[in-house]
């Protein structure tokens, strides 16, 4: 890297390439991967939920109410979306970091007895605030990256959401290495770690001008291979931990390996950014062309139509939206039939899988599994959630490009697959909870890249940060119905019946437990039936968008972008 000026030139070049790397969009993507790898605290609720239940003396219905507020916080990102519309990304991440720490830290104070016995509504509010920080990270990272890589949005969403899926397994390993088996300290870890990571990368993530590289997809595949290696190591560690008892030293060794793998995408990123820096310094030795579309005057009639539309008051054209793929206003998207169908489908699909994930601790305990096996179930959900995200993100992008296979149809197939996981839990076949954890994790992970991509494709990117938050709000609605009103109530009823058969009565503030397959059987039969209904309903969206997905949905982005061709 030495220049004509000798050593001084070399140092200047080193400084130049360092600045280029730290401000480049590939390093930005790496930063977002790290943000996402620490942003999945809500997905390991199944590990520390039992600690909240026993420490605060809750029954299952009350615990599921807490879980419902967690889902409200984790999925209702309207505030984050609106802030992102008018404020820089660093402010979105900063607000999220503050909310994450304050919310989970208060819960930790409550379960450790450092404050007086908190009321239920305080715990609900705290977990809602803490979980809502996740929407700020998702908005700041995911929405920004979709805008920076619009023609690879399925891949981008799949990778980023995939790291969220892995974050549960990563944080579980960190927790055991740092705190042993103290579930209360896991809550403390969830409080400080994501907040610290967000603060480190505040100034990195931002929206930049779209420049599509010819090898863009190849770089994403390299990042995918690295993440698959991380997932494989995590899976191997979980299997090993399930067979032998790990000491704190063993956990420290495995965590060291995992941290190295978490940062390994940096090798791919630095290599690509250095290549781009050299190309910018030596354009003649690495020729490339930049293609920009010619500006064409709009036909008079089209111009008049555009002017007429812009002069309309917002509420006059709510029910006369533009063509699919164009930029909808927020009311146009919210009140469209496509969004309504997608909302109900998400409510049934995500609501059912979330109910399974949030109750894994109680499901495992009711079936007689030891506590360390429950950690295994949650970690399996985390890893297979990652695989679901990257598989649906990459495969839906490939199938769409090569075969015009519509994403809504892939969403239908994922919903159908999730029904089998619910039925495995319902009938409690011996050792089937392992398969159920894999299916539920995979399907829950696969849902989100599909839903987020469909929203961006049907309604445009202008208000994507708000619309994707609205779409995600369907998840807590489903969680409340299935988790609180169905699973929680039926579990408590069965627990009270078992106590009555034993001639016992529940005392105030006493933990209510239930044993056996019957605890969750009826609840998950209902959930499976509702998910099947959502699967059938999703076919309406498939039929409505069939023509749209047969066309070239990325054409306008190619016309707007500078296409960089090079070696």
| CATH classification of the domain holding 457 | 1.20.1250.20
Question: How would you classify the pairing of strands 211-213 and 562-565?
Answer: parallel
Give the list of residues 6+ apart from residue 369 with CB closer than 8 angstroms, or none.
377, 433
Task: Tell me if 344 is assigned to some domain.
Answer: yes
Per-residue confidence (pLDDT) for residue 10, from 0 to 100: 62
Task: Tell me if 8 is assigned to some domain.
Answer: no
Per-residue confidence (pLDDT) for residue 159, from 0 to 100: 93
Task: Tell me if 307 is assigned to some domain.
Answer: no
* Both tokens assigned to 339: 């969004």
Range of the domain at 362: 20-276+325-565
Task: Tell me if 129 is assigned to some domain.
Answer: yes
Task: Tell me if 46 is assigned to some domain.
Answer: yes
Render 126-176 in DSSP notation, one character per residue. HHHHHHHHHHHHHIIIIIHHHHHSGGGHHHHHHHHHHHHHHHHHHHHHHHH
Give the list of residues 6+ apart from residue 544 with CB closer than 8 angstroms, or none.
337, 338, 341
Task: Tell me if 351 is assigned to some domain.
Answer: yes
Task: Tell me if 300 is assigned to some domain.
Answer: no
Question: Which of 518, 524, 367 is CA-nearest to residue 440?
Answer: 524
Task: Tell me if 292 is assigned to some domain.
Answer: no
> 280 to each of 275, 291, 406, 447, how far by Cα in Å?
9, 16, 38, 40
Per-residue confidence (pLDDT) for residue 283, from 0 to 100: 57
The segments of the chain whose pLDDT lies below 50 read 1-6, 285-312, 562-567
CB 160 within 8 A of CB 36: yes
Total structural domains in the chain? Answer: 1
């Amino acid at each position: 890297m030495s220049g004509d000026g000798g050593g001084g030139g070399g140092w200047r070049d080193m400084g130049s390439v360092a600045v280029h790397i730290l401000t480049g969009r590939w390093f930005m993507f790496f930063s977002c991967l790290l943000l996402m790898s620490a942003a999945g605290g809500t997905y390991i609720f199944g590990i520390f939920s039992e600690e909240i239940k026993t420490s605060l003396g809750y029954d299952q219905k009350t615990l599921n109410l807490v879980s419902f507020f967690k889902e409200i916080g984790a999925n209702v990102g309207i505030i984050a979306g609106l802030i992102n519309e008018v404020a820089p990304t660093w402010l979105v991440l900063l607000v999220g970091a503050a909310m994450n720490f304050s919310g989970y830290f208060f819960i930790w104070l409550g379960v450790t007895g450092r404050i007086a016995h908190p009321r239920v509504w305080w715990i609900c509010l705290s977990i809602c605030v803490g979980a809502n920080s996740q929407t700020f990270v998702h908005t700041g990272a995911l929405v920004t990256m979709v805008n920076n890589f619009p023609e690879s949005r399925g891949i981008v969403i799949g990778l980023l959401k995939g790291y969220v899926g892995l974050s549960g397994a990563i944080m579980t390993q960190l927790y055991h290495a740092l705190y042993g088996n103290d579930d209360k300290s896991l809550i403390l870890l969830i409080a400080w770690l994501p907040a610290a990571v967000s603060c480190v990368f505040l100034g990195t993530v931002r929206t930049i001008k779209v420049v599509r590289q010819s090898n863009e997809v190849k770089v994403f595949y390299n990042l995918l291979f690295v993440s698959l290696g991380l997932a494989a190591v995590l899976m191997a560690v979980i299997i090993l931990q399930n067979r032998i008892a790990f000491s704190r030293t063993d956990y420290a060794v495995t965590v060291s390996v995992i941290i190295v793998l978490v940062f390994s995408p940096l090798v791919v990123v630095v290599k690509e950014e250095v290549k781009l820096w050299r190309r910018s310094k030596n354009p003649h030795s690495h020729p490339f062309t930049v293609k920009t579309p010619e500006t064409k005057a709009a036909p008079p009639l089209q111009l008049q139509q555009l002017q007429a539309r812009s002069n309309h008051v917002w509420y006059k054209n709510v029910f006369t939206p533009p063509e699919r793929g164009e930029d909808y206003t927020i009311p146009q998207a919210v009140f469209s039939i496509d969004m309504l169908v997608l909302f109900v489908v998400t409510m049934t699909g995500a609501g059912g899988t979330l109910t399974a994930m949030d109750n894994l601790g109680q499901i495992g305990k009711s079936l007689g599994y030891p506590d360390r096996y429950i950690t295994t179930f949650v970690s399996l959900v985390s890893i297979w959630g990652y695989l679901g995200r990257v598989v649906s993100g990459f495969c839906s992008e490939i199938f769409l490009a090569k075969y015009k296979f519509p994403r809504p149809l892939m969403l239908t197939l994922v919903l159908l697959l999730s029904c089998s996981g619910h039925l495995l839990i319902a009938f409690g076949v011996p050792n089937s909870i392992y398969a159920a954890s894999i299916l539920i994790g995979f399907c829950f992970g696969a849902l989100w890249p599909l839903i987020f991509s469909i929203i961006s494709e049907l309604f445009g990117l202008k208000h994507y940060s708000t619309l994707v938050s609205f779409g995600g709000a369907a998840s807590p609605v489903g969680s409340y119905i299935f988790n609180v009103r169905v699973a929680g109530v039926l579990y408590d009823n069965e627990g009270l019946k078992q106590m009555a058969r034993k001639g016992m009565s529940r005392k105030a503030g006493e933990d209510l437990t239930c044993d056996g397959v019957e605890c969750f059987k009826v609840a998950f039969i209902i959930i499976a039936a509702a998910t099947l209904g959502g699967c059938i309903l999703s076919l309406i969206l498939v039929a409505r968008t069939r023509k749209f997905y047969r066309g070239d949905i990325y054409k306008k982005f190619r016309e707007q972008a500078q296409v960089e061709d090079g070696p």
